[in-house]
Amino acid sequence: MRQNILIPYIKEELIPFFYQKLEKLGFVEAGYNKALDITACPGTDTCNLGIASSTGIAEELERLIKAEYPQYISNPDVVIKISGCMNACGQHNMANIGFQGMSIRTKDKLVAPALQVLLGGGNDGNGNGRFADKVVKIPSKRGPEALRLILNDFETNGKGKPFADYYAEKGEHYFYDFLKPLTDIEDLTQEDFIDWGTIEKYKKEIGIGECAGVVIDLIATLLLESQEKIQNAQETFNEGKWAASIYHSYSSMVNSAKALLTAEKTKVNTHSSIIKDFDEKFVAAGRIAIAGGFEDLVLQLNKNEPTEDFTKSYLEDAKALLQKVESFRKMELAEV
């Protein structure tokens, strides 16, 4: 799971010999299986599906940890993983701190490499695990600063706890608040348009992939995400956290719409374009029935107080929408 290689059956008396050989290859540096040991997929180095560099940013983050946080060279409680795209070959969504390669388009239509920052995932080691939450999307060149902010806060507010417990206590919004300033793309510099590990200007180029990622059904994955968001909405509702539940229901509805639009190869860059296009292509076209339209349904949250009654009915709306979208998708696939 951390891209290790196990060499078994070495005779005990030969271990020093093996150690010396591995040392010559540079494989005995401190930090094995610790925070410093960052997992990264090949990303844009060799994978045609890679959107942004994963090995380049991994090297930079390892440099940062060695220079600024040497205590993490021997800390096994923070697991950092990076993938060059959503296919997650680097298992970034199962890490305490994960980064996923993306791109960002400025209002002048310039494209910069970006990273989605995910937090709170992990493998408990007892058969249980947790998917990380997608917290913010930032220009790739701000990846080191994001890690600094997270580790500084962990040092101050999570001292002595495993990272997973610290994250669970604080919750996604807490991290969103202090990472949000990094998402501002109004002041990008020329450097922001050059990805880690290269000196050339960034160009988003995606082709046919050579790894397991190519067999993943993107639409099914998006619909699974919608189900997860509904589960989160139900759990937070059960805990009496109305605002959080409304947020998850909203995300589920937009994500369900995004799934069908993606299947039609419609661009899904912003929430407002997803809402508008879904209304136009599915509701107005009579393909999915939503009384009053999708925009009114999804944006009810702007017109209502986060009461228990509203939270409950909004969650029911999100569930009903997902059911309609899933049935539509099944019908479409059956017709193919």
Give me the residues that bind ligand SF4 (CB under 6 A), please: 41-43, 47, 49-50, 83-85, 87-90, 209, 211, 213
Please, what's the b/e burial string for 158-184 (b: 16 or more CB within 10 A of its CB; e: otherwise)? beeeebbebbeebebeebbeebeebbe
Residue placing its CB nearer to ligand SF4 in the complex, 171 or 209? 209
Q: Identify any residues that bridge with 101 across adjacent strands, giving them in sequence order.
A: 115
Report the nearest approach of ligand SF4 to the CB of residue 223 (Å): 20
* Single-letter residue type at 40: A
With contact defined as beta carbons under 8 Å apart, do 121 and 163 qualify?
A: no
Question: Distance between CA atoms of 185 and 270, rounded to whole angstroms?
Answer: 15
Residue placing its CB nearer to ligand SF4 in the complex, 91 or 249? 91
Residue placing its CB nearer to ligand SF4 in the complex, 90 or 113? 90
Residue placing its CB nearer to ligand SF4 in the complex, 49 or 283? 49
Question: Distance between CA atoms of 93 and 315, rounded to whole angstroms?
Answer: 25
Report the nearest approach of ligand SF4 to the CB of residue 98 (Å): 11
* Single-letter residue type at 194: I
Report the nearest approach of ligand SF4 to the CB of residue 101 (Å): 6
Question: Distance between CA atoms of 93 and 101, rounded to whole angstroms?
Answer: 12
Report the nearest approach of ligand SF4 to the CB of residue 199 (Å): 21
Report the nearest approach of ligand SF4 to the CB of residue 248 (Å): 26
Of 33, 35, 57, 32, the C-alpha closest to 44 is 57
| Neighbour count for residue 72 (Cβ, 10 Å) | 21
Question: Distance between CA atoms of 119 and 177, rounded to whole angstroms?
Answer: 13
Residue placing its CB nearer to ligand SF4 in the complex, 92 or 248? 92
Residue placing its CB nearer to ligand SF4 in the complex, 81 or 141? 81
Report the nearest approach of ligand SF4 to the CB of residue 198 (Å): 15
Report the nearest approach of ligand SF4 to the CB of residue 90 (Å): 6
Residue placing its CB nearer to ligand SF4 in the complex, 40 or 185? 40
* 83: helix, strand or coil: strand
End-to-end alpha carbon distance in the chain: 37
